[in-house]
Amino acid sequence: MKPFRLFFKIILVSVILALTGGALFFRLRPPFLIVTDPSISLLYGAERTRLKHIELSIKFFRRVMFVFVSESAAPEIVAAAVESVYAAPGAVLFPELYNEGARRYHAQNPETPVIILESRRFNLSDSTQESEGLYFIRPDTETDLFKAGISAAFLADNSRILVIYDRILAPEFRAAFENGLKTMGFFGDVDYIEAQNEHIVWENYSCAVLLGTAAYFLEQNNRIPAILFSWINPEITPVNIKVIFNDSPWILAGKAPDTIKNKGIFPDTEIIIPRGRISEGAALLRRQLRRTQSIGNDLGYL
């Protein structure tokens, strides 16, 4: 029995040393800082933010620290707030609303990688100019709209589909959405209507895709099955929101290390199907969406 006890003690000591060493390494690595406004966490949900915080810390194997700054703060205030939290972090992630503050911090701390988490764009804009130590992450809108087409075809049952958008929706993105529909065998009508239009005959549609401001649609207390592009907490959305494309800053943040190593990373958007809102076929839809790979980012806007 003595050799067995000795072997057990050696294994136990090895495990303790490994855990202690891992914890020490975790603590000693410079943290990643994420700049945020308290309202972002409020909209995303306190519990979701807490879980995402833990998830990112595990994924990066280093501490992740939030820097809370008002979104209206001047660039110099944003930069100073970040510097006051940690002198030499591993990287700092800024949602796009802090764009000027991110650039100010980068100018003052060029040795620290700075990542700007860009908002989704539905137009094809020019490529963002990266510089040494300054990186950008933007959602893969083309692939997401393709997947939205798959989801809409699933919900619409070959009836007319409504797409609500803000101001502009590039023809290439419309094509991606319609290709997703065709993939599922949908060849019905699709109407593209700007969000400001208040004369929509809702009963004409069997599914709505909300790319723009969703407030008017939600105010109608509509029963139309809908697909929402938002990172709002799913628990506070109405039950007719069947699929949510979550492109929150936290989802983009998960690709930060890859972005530093390889420029041009386009993260997969988290697709949420709230439990119980699709009575039949939810598992089938999830499988179909998981099988859909990125269809590329060759449109020239990233």
Domains in the chain: ranges and CATH? 9-137 (3.40.50), 141-247+269-291 (3.40.50.2300)
Q: What is the pLDDT of residue 302?
A: 23
Each residue's pLDDT tens digit, 107-119: 999 999 999 988 8
Each residue's pLDDT tens digit, 254-284: 877 776 665 555 666 888 888 888 877 777 7
Each residue's pLDDT tens digit, 191-211: 999 887 777 888 889 999 999
Q: What is the pLDDT of residue 215?
A: 76
Phi, psi of 20 (to 5 degrees): -65, -45
Q: What is the pLDDT of residue 138?
A: 81
- Residue 278 near residue 226 (C-beta atoms within 8 A): no
Q: Enumerate residues 6+ apart whose C-beta is below 8 A from 264.
A: 297, 302
Each residue's pLDDT tens digit, 11-65: 655 555 454 554 554 455 899 999 998 887 788 888 888 888 888 888 888 899 9
99 band by pLDDT with thresholds 50, 70 and 90: very high
> Does residue 298 surpass a pLDDT of 50?
no
Mean pLDDT of the 204-220 span: 84
Choose the most confident range, by mean pLDDT, from 127-141, 231-245, 257-271: 231-245
